[in-house]
Amino acid sequence: MTDDQLDDLLSLSRAPEPSPELERSVREAWSRLAKVHDSGEPWWRRSIRIPAWTLAALPVILVAIWLLQPPVQDADGFALSDFKPAPPVVEIIPVGGHHGPPLAR
Amino acid sequence: MMDDDATLVFRAVRGDEVAFEAIYARYNRPVHEYAWRMTGRSSVAEEIVQECFLAFFKLAPRYDASRARVLTLLLTIARNHVVKRQQTVMAETTNDVVAVAASVEEDLLADERAVAVRRAIARLPESQREVLVLFEFEDLSMKEIGAILGLDAGAVKSRLFRARESLKRWLAPHALEVTP
């Protein structure tokens, strides 16, 4: 059999028509969905429902997190706030004429 | 002028009934035909069409026309439903059953050759039948079929070739005479 003959035979095969009830049930399903989609909400709000109080409380939560955070530490584990200013280094310069080793008593 | 798919989907999602009707009219037959040829039963095919359109309209608000045609998307969903059904009702989906189920509906057809063609298609292994149906009856390109089935174009071509060779062998006695 040639390819053309097979194509002719395949063209004889017809699928049955879908019933009118099918369109009705699909339309009902679409209608329900279209109402949901047409509620004016953006899709991301419908997908992720965030309660309004969460959004309102967000600044308070962020400030609380900032206040409660532990002090920043360096690689050795010391908090930066642990470091106090070092005392001034006082160099004692002997005054007088003797500049050699301490005198033996 | 006919609206393009993206416009129709956009309007249908917002409750435009005319747009919904246009989408349904354009695609219900191809999806039904695919489901019917894969399951062999009108009632099952109609359930699949319904589930398919429902799933499509759920996804529709995020539909991106640059990534896939509506038909390709619908057939991908339909194929998932067919596979799911075949996994859950394995006993009912052997090729023999598909052939018998198809034969009941063929009573309406007078043409003996059409009956033979339908039975021959139902006899094909499922992997070859779905490629043949998508190529011959849905007019999809090899690339689109590959996208639906998760195959490369070479595998699609090879399955189509084997399916056609089997059909040629089985349908040889029914070959139409070629008019010069």
Convert A30-43 to b/e letters by CB count within 10 Å (16 or more is b): beebbeebeeeeee
In angstroms and rounded to an integer, the radius of gyration of the C-alpha atoms of chain A is 42
pLDDT per position as a tens digit, A18-40: 888 888 888 888 888 777 665 55
**Taking 90 as the threshold, does the pLDDT of residue A13 lie above it?**
no
ipTM above 0.85, yes or no: no
Optimal mutation site among B8, B14, B24, interface A, most CBs of chain A within 10 A: B24
DSSP A101: S
Q: What is the mean pLDDT of residues A6-17?
A: 85
The answer to whether B63 touches B11, Cβ cutoff 8 Å, is no
d(CA B59, CA B42): 25
Q: Does B46 touch chain A (CB under 8 A)?
A: yes
The answer to whether B61 touches A30, Cβ cutoff 8 Å, is no
d(CA B115, CA B109): 7
Contact B117 A25 (CB under 8 A): no
Q: Does A47 touch chain B (CB under 8 A)?
A: no
Selected residues 125-144 of chain B with any CB under 8 Å from a CB in chain A: 136-137
pLDDT per position as a tens digit, B51-110: 999 888 888 888 888 888 889 999 999 999 998 888 776 655 455 555 445 555 555 544
pTM: 0.66
pLDDT per position as a tens digit, A28-85: 888 887 776 655 555 566 566 667 787 888 899 999 988 887 766 666 666 666 666 6
Nearest Cα residue in chain A from B167: A6
pLDDT per position as a tens digit, B140-167: 999 999 999 999 989 999 999 999 999 9
**Taking 50 as the threshold, does the pLDDT of residue B2 lie above it?**
yes
The answer to whether B122 touches B133, Cβ cutoff 8 Å, is no
